[in-house]
Amino acid sequence: MQVPTPVLFRAGSPHEVVAVDVDEPRAGEVRVRMAASGVCHSCLYAMDGQHAGIPMPIVLGDEGAGVVESVGPGVTTVVPGDHVVVSWAPGCGRCRTCRQGLPALCGDQPPLGRMGDGETRYHLDGADVYHYGPATNAPLAVLHERAVVPVSPKIPLDLAAMIGCAVATGVGAVRSTARVRLGESMVVVGCGGIGANVLHAGALAGAYPIVAVDVVPGKFDTLRAIGATHCVDATAPDALDQVLAATGGGADFAFVTTSAAPAFGLALRSLARRGTCVLIAGYPDDTTVAFDPGHLLNGERRIIASKYGSSNPPVDFPDLVDLYLAGRLPLADMVSGRWGVHQVDEAYDALRRGEATRGLIVFDS
Ligand SMILES: [Zn+2]
Ligand SMILES: [Zn+2]
């Protein structure tokens, strides 16, 4: 079937919407009519040429939701018509970390740009069009069944899209990785889609204070509504002093959601003794960071990482949908813009400028 699909042909150039041939789902695969795709920072690395080895042309997008259109042989977990949230971590399903319910840590991921069998499901004039992970910017997406999680049809699909990356990662970092407890203090450095979810999960956990640090003060009212108790302009010369004042000398947790150069250092300096820096951000290839080991040692500070919020999608996504349906997850407040399939570059430009909490690409159904 041919479907107009936004395709990136080379780094640094705009998307083109072209009629892509979409294969039928093969064994263990499903084809999903996407409703919306979230605009995530990891795709910017591909667009800006900071992710080496990405094959082109490619369909981007790492979070989305839609309706199962058809299923391949042997699929048992979903049927056509099911509403699903896409996971970017299907995992192999067999290795140790997959069996522990941590598929984002799977050591047997599909080859970059391809499905597990080494081939693509998208073609243009007979040539391969590659998949950036789940490639949720495809209006008709072919995915492994482990990459889709059936959810209640009561949640609007555009909001459900964000659960697949920003919400799972942000909420999971607080809930599953850091396990923030009532009354503990936290700082969130970088408040885009993931940071907004970290803030809100902190509020749900009863953290206090919850300090949002961002370079765009225009977002602060939104961040306060989501859960921040204090907001600090990261560009202010005394940003660190403001954070230390707000936290009474340092925070129990500092979450780093952005690879922007000053963020990691600011987060480390924001920690109280025995505080933990939680690294969430994806970084461009071959990045190194510097820190003062004495500051770490003398306060028994720690640095840990949270990949995909330590999520187990088949368990966590339905939990997050339940939270939304109970009115505890203000997903609508996190949407900073909606764009059509022909406006993909505008959506990513808003993200690049740091204005966005979460942008959505919405497909006509
Ligand atoms: Zn993402
Ligand atoms: Zn695995």
The ligand minimizing its distance to the Cα of 165 is: 1
* Ligand 2 mean position, distance from CA 54 (Å): 21
Residue 341 is part of which domain span? 2-164+330-362
127-131 and 122-124 strand pairing: antiparallel
Q: What is the pLDDT of residue 83?
A: 98
Question: What type of residue sits at position 306?
Answer: S
> What letter represents residue 118's amino acid?
G
Same domain, 237 and 345: no
147 and 216 housed in the same domain: no
Handedness of CA 151, 153, 154, 159 (dihedral sign): positive
Together in a domain, 28 and 150: yes
pLDDT tens digit string along 319-358? Answer: 999 999 999 999 998 898 999 999 999 999 998 887 778 8
Residue 258 lies in a domain: yes
The percentage of residues in the chain with a pLDDT greater than 70, rounded to a whole number, is 100
Residue with tokens 């970092």: 173
User: How many angstroms separate the alpha carbon of residue 249 from the centre of ligand 1?
Assistant: 32
Report whether pLDDT(110) > 70.
yes
Within-domain flag for 71:
yes
Number of domains making up the chain: 2
Residue 84 lies in a domain: yes
CA-based angle 142:64:61, to the nearest 5?
Answer: 75
Q: Are residues 154 and 222 in the same domain?
A: no
Sequence-distant (≥ 6) Cβ neighbours of residue 96 within 8 angstroms: none
Q: Are residues 159 and 194 in the same domain?
A: no
Q: How far is CA 156 from the centre of its chain?
A: 18
pLDDT of residue 41: 85
Q: Are residues 122 and 209 in the same domain?
A: no
Using CB atoms within 10 Å of the CB of residue 182, give its burial: 0 to 12 exposed, 13 to 18 middle, 19+ buried. exposed
Q: How confident is the model at residue 53 (pLDDT cuts 50, 70, 90)?
A: confident
314 assigned to some structural domain: no
Name, in order, each residue with C-beta under 8 angstroms of 315's C-beta and a sequence gap of 6 or more. Answer: 101
| Nearest-ligand number for the alpha carbon of 87 | 1
Is 241 found in the same domain as 128? no
Is 337 found in the same domain as 204?
Answer: no
Ligand nearest to the CA of 42: 1
Query: Is 37 within a domain?
Result: yes
Q: How confident is the model at residue 285 (pLDDT cuts 50, 70, 90)?
A: confident
Does a structural domain hold residue 321?
no
Q: Ligand 1 centre and the CA of 224: distance in Å?
A: 23
88 Cα to the center of ligand 1, angstroms: 8
Task: Give the ligand with the smallest distance to the CA of 62.
Answer: 1
Tens digit of pLDDT for each residue in 179-221? 999 999 999 999 998 999 999 999 999 999 999 999 999 999 9
Separation of 38 CA from ligand 1 center, angstroms? 8
Task: Give the global pTM.
Answer: 0.93
Amino acid at 162: M
